[in-house]
Amino acid sequence: KTILFLAMGALCMSIVAPLRAATIFNNSVNDLKLRFDPGTYEVGDEIILAGTDRWLTGFDFEYWGTNTANPTTFAGAVKAQVKLYLNNGPLVPNVPNGYPSPQYVLYDSGVFSLDSATTERRTEVFTVADFPGGVPLFIPADDITWSIQFSGLGTGDSVGLDLYSPPVVGGDYPDYWQNNGTSWSLLTNTVPMDFGARFYANAAIPEPSMVTLSIMGGLGLLTLARRLRRKE
């Protein structure tokens, strides 16, 4: 995977957190001035949420995009898809301690279009309105993986993620997940592969629906393996 060094000074995300929501993860301060180009692979960052508020009200992440021939516009109709996972899948082979891979999908944004303009940095923001039913999303674990997959790249287009480390709220593992279309691999680099992102949540539980109760009941049966990797 490609790492590009940034000569520019640190620029942090500036979108204001949702009103009354607690910040349960913030990796947008300690800018490594590095960029990660995942191509069209789905890549994921496994993170540790802080506090106890678990009704997700929103999240955001940073991305960059360039074109070798045109400094202002992508050649293709560039798209992205974001997912939130529980790490309750098959253990990754040939990895000490047998870390469980991402499996249960808590949230799937579906494929959405990115701005047609290239960007040094842009923050993509998700709010409650983007969640099913327009209500906060319950996160039944402290340890989750958020992933992104870019598509629709044209000739000369590159899109990727800004790297920050360490987070100032919550924790982050220095490796990252990559899905080849059939299975996940756990990969490392010479620098912490911690994607720039922030998550917000409330402690209050919305009026429960039958769907919510059903999901919570099913998730209550899951036992997640504890990982031994050092938290960043």
Q: How far apart are CA 95 and CA 109, in angstroms?
A: 30
User: What does the pLDDT read at residue 119?
Assistant: 96
User: What does the pLDDT read at residue 205?
Assistant: 62
Among all chains, which residue has been given the structure tokens 């607690």?
A: 22
72: left (phi over 0), alpha (psi -120 to 50) or beta: alpha
User: What does the pLDDT read at residue 1?
Assistant: 39
Q: How far apart are CA 108 and CA 114, in angstroms?
A: 16
**AA identity, residue 71:** P
- In order along its 232 residues, the chain shows pLDDT tens digits of 334 434 333 334 433 444 468 999 999 999 999 999 999 999 999 999 999 999 999 999 999 999 999 999 999 999 999 999 999 999 887 666 779 999 999 999 999 999 999 999 999 999 999 999 999 999 999 999 999 999 999 999 999 999 999 999 999 999 999 999 989 999 999 999 999 999 999 997 655 544 444 444 444 434 333 333 333 3
Residue 60 dihedral angles phi and psi, to the nearest 5°: -145, 160
- If DSSP codes are grouped into helix, strand and coil, which group holds residue 130? helix
